[in-house]
A and B are shown apart, each in its own frame.
Chain A
Amino acid sequence: MKKASVLMIIGPLLLLGLYFFPLWNIMLGAPQYPDPLGMNIHITGIKGVSEFDLQNIDGLNHYIGMKVIPKPEEMWEFTVFPYVIGGMVLLGVIIGLLGYMNKVSYKWFLGWFVLMSILGVLGMYDFNAWLLDYGSNLDPHAIIKVVNPDGTPMTYKPPLLGYQKMLNFDVTSLPHVGAYMMFVGMMLTVVAFFVGKKEAGKIKNT
């Protein structure tokens, strides 16, 4: 189980990338913004891609009545997420170490992956809920009110993933380095599970 356990230790450690790199990135380009404005979503808060991007996004959004981009202390997520990720890294490494010492079976590896996946889906759900609120909970006194063809007020929820045209802006929302590292890390734990299973099978057969 040594090979599998090493993979199981490396995998969760890759999640540490989330402390250094953004999880997600949303870019807003427009004819008058050939250098697009952008926000990087870290597990600890939202930062501008360039120094004054957040201020400039807020400045533009006030016309359509959107709230300003929240500060880290204004969303519980940015306090809780670092602990959740830290906890999962610790748990994964412990499982890996125990596996290395043959104290736990490879099935625990998959167990960590499943737990992490559930947390990930919950995180995405929460993120999407925030995007929805951010894009649709508009100031009734907004300077510019745009309605859809059916008469309902237009909302400005950025896409969770992919591209969308919103008024004059081209909005692109994609995972960033932190998310890719997390994805690779999680996949490594799945590989660890199968390698562990194979190694366990070999032991049984001999």
Chain B
Amino acid sequence: MRKIKYSILSLLGLVMVFTSCNDSGKKSRGALASNNAEKVYVAPGEQDEFYAFMSGGYSGNLTVYGLPSGRMFKEIPVFSQFATNGYGYSEETKPMLNTSFGFVPWDDSHHPDISQTNGELDGRWIFINGNNTPRIARIDLKTFETAEIIEVPNSAGNHSSSFITENTEYVVAGTRFSVPVPQRDMPINEYKGNFKGALSFISVDPEDGEMDIKFQILMPGFNYDLSHPGRGKSHGWFFFTTYNTEEANSLLEVNASQNDKDFIAAINWKKIEEYVNNGGGTKIPANYAHNIYSDEDHTAVSTMKKEVLTVDPTKVPGAVYFLPTPKSPHGCDVDPTGSYIIGNGKLSADLTVHSFDKMLAAIEGKKFDGEAYGIPILKFEDVLAGTVKSGGLGPLHTEFDGEGNAYTTFFISSEVVMWKLGTWEVVDRKPTYYSVGHLMIPGGNSRKPFGKYVVAMNKITKDRYLPTGPELEHSAQLYDISGDKMELIYDFPTHGEPHYAAGIPAELIAPKSQKIYKLAENKHPRATLGVNDARVERDGNEVHVYMAMIRSHFTPDNIEGIKVGDKVYFHITNHEQDFDVPHGFAMIGANNSELLIMPGQTKTLVWEPKQVGVWPFYCTDFCSALHQEMQGYVRVSPTNSNVDLTWSLGE
């Protein structure tokens, strides 16, 4: 089919060449192509205009790209062990992956969202959810490192997360899978009416960003798919799409697709906040991990929390309503003014747009269409602002350019459709390659979108790049939206499976990006701040090596007196104070990763030597002209030997 299209196109081209002036025809085509090339070309030494933070999906991490170049700058380890730098392998970072299930070395990261002040991106932190073992992470945008992870109890499939309110009062996490609350042994087919869907409001400390679960709303046992905050006039509300309002517990692809309409749940969180501040809600026993990493001692601490405050929504009148929305809506998006709530009914052709004003009027007029588990259902016609007759199929997610336009991805018809808020008319549509999931406009989930580009994140890559066997990276497409119509200007592969992304102008982040950690401020209890403090200490069969590294040697680099059966902790401090001079550390046979240690930082690797011999270690990051010389030896003696514990450098 495509071949036929191309030949028709080329035929048309041929006709044009014959009927028009030869030269000018060629010229205009060339000029157009080079124009697009210039739009994405960031010359060597130049920098991109935007950062794009793409979720890693099943990589569990967050990747950092530049726009418009599509160049990848960094992979930030969040929920997954990262052998590249030792995250989740070093003693300092293992606690970051602690949960109520113990150490969980992987997750499925989904929806990054940048902190906001007054509804505008402030670039302090970026939050992202772990979908599988419900967790929310906060990444510090000064260091681009994961600073905090909080587990979300009573949740499963933490998918309608991690979206923030317009002053970063809360990062919100909703459950996709409803479960028994509290968890208990019960028949699966007694799901209906018994399972609950927990929507968690996690407060964010305005100073240091520290997270704390303020309350959980225990909703009926639907699937809470995606969510977005109200903004501007609708600030104080939060909207969640639901599916499986049928409450099926098996073969959901059929059984959860029967209702013509599911709901968007509208939550007046200000009202619930007031309710709990006045002593409302019920504290129930829980068990969830709260892990905090500190830049001062370069160490994470995991604390188990034992209680969570739950709220029964029927106990807070006027706080929760259901807005009927056709066909299992996925994305739940709110326009920059906060006037419209868009339900992307993924099994339909049309988009449903609800009006916030009409919703308030309907609530005022008590125009209810029954209730579900005590929660009032508003009449569809009373809250409907309009329907976008798209002509596409399978709408998933909508973002906004700040100029009155909305852009919606259509998974099934594989396209991005541009339409106008208010008139609901379709302005433009462009194909994606292929099967687009989510899309991102820098600031597109805030009061002040920056426009300029749409990034489409596709689920299927197929033939866009050179083939790499059955397993392919996903593909992103960049559209220029500065004109009246969208223009596809670039393709680039993305790592893992981005389910969403957050873009922000570089100038809001780049100047604050930290270059080194100051050694003088290193509070790690086992740091070696001066080379004279370098030493080796034995405590039973635990041996602690206090080691320093600088271009290009380790202090000490000869260690004797280690025995088979010892547990050796290498506490290594990088003494460099120069930008971009990390050192690595790798030990032969360590059942572990390497360490990559930034200037001024201390990290610890555990090595349990199993064989007698003299075993080398070395620096893994090419640090200087003498990098190859940056090595050392550990002598490992039999368990019962009496070789003295000694260490040295240059002797």
Contacts and interface: CB of A to CB of B under 8 A. Distances in A.
Interface string A40-67: 0000000000011001100100010000
A144 interface: yes
B625 interface: yes
A55 B577 contact: yes
B550 A59 contact: yes
A143 interface: yes
Interface in B1-53: none
Contact of B551 (A35, A52, A59): A59
A63 B578 contact: no
A104 to B, nearest CB: 53
B625 A63 contact: yes
A143 B626 contact: yes
B625 A56 contact: no
A199 to B, nearest CB: 56
Interface in A47-98: 51-52, 55-56, 59, 63
B578 A52 contact: yes
Contact of A52 (B577, B624, B625, B626): B577
Contact of B625 (A35, A51, A144): A144
B578 to A, nearest CB: 5
A52 B626 CA distance: 21
Nearest to A32: B580
Interface string A114-142: 00000000000000000000000000000
Nearest to A35: B579
Interface string B330-367: 00000000000000000000000000000000000000
Interface string B561-582: 0000000000000001111000
A56 B550 CA distance: 11
Interface string B473-507: 00000000000000000000000000000000000
Contacts of B626: 63, 143
Classify the interface of chain A: helix, strand, loop or mixed: mixed
A136 B434 CA distance: 65
Classify the interface of chain B: helix, strand, loop or mixed: loop
A113 B305 CA distance: 77
Contacts of A143: 626
A143 B625 CA distance: 10
Interface residues of A, number: 9
Contacts of B551: 59
Contacts of A35: 579
Contacts of A144: 625
Query: Contact size class for B?
Result: 10 to 19
Contacts of A52: 516, 577-578
A56 B626 CA distance: 16
Nearest to B551: A59
A191 B551 CA distance: 54
B234 to A, nearest CB: 46
Residue of B551, B578, B624 with most chain A CB atoms under a 10 A cut-off:
B578
A55 B578 CA distance: 9
Interface string B531-557: 000000000000000000011000000
A165 to B, nearest CB: 18
B514 to A, nearest CB: 13
Contacts of B625: 63, 144
Contacts of A63: 624-626
Contacts of A51: 577
A136 to B, nearest CB: 22
A97 to B, nearest CB: 48
A7 B577 CA distance: 47
A51 to B, nearest CB: 8
Interface in B80-94: none
A11 to B, nearest CB: 42
Nearest to A143: B626
Contacts of A59: 550-551, 576, 578
A68 B260 CA distance: 78
B522 to A, nearest CB: 14
Contacts of B576: 59
Contacts of B516: 52
Contacts of B624: 63
B529 to A, nearest CB: 14
Nearest to A144: B625
B590 to A, nearest CB: 29
B627 to A, nearest CB: 12
A51 B599 CA distance: 14
B478 to A, nearest CB: 28
A68 B235 CA distance: 60
Interface string B71-101: 0000000000000000000000000000000
Contacts of A56: 577-578
A63 B551 CA distance: 10
Nearest to B45: A34
A143 B627 CA distance: 13
Contacts of A55: 577-578
Interface in B83-134: none
A83 B551 CA distance: 40
Interface in B564-609: 576-579
A35 B580 CA distance: 12
A51 B520 CA distance: 12
A52 B578 CA distance: 7
A137 to B, nearest CB: 22
A1 B37 CA distance: 72
B105 to A, nearest CB: 36
Interface in A126-170: 143-144
Nearest to A34: B45
A47 B626 CA distance: 28
A32 to B, nearest CB: 8
A169 to B, nearest CB: 14
Nearest to B580: A32
Nearest to A37: B578
Interface in B128-184: none
Interface string B615-643: 00000000011100000000000000000
B182 to A, nearest CB: 53
A168 to B, nearest CB: 10
B122 to A, nearest CB: 27
> 3 closest Cβ contacts across the A-B interface?
A52-B577, A56-B578, A55-B577
Interface of A: 35, 51-52, 55-56, 59, 63, 143-144
18 contacts: A35-B579, A51-B577, A52-B516, A52-B577, A52-B578, A55-B577, A55-B578, A56-B577, A56-B578, A59-B550, A59-B551, A59-B576, A59-B578, A63-B624, A63-B625, A63-B626, A143-B626, A144-B625
Given A59-B551, A63-B626, 11 more contacts: A52-B516, A52-B577, A55-B577, A55-B578, A56-B577, A59-B550, A59-B576, A59-B578, A63-B624, A63-B625, A143-B626
Interface of B: 516, 550-551, 576-579, 624-626
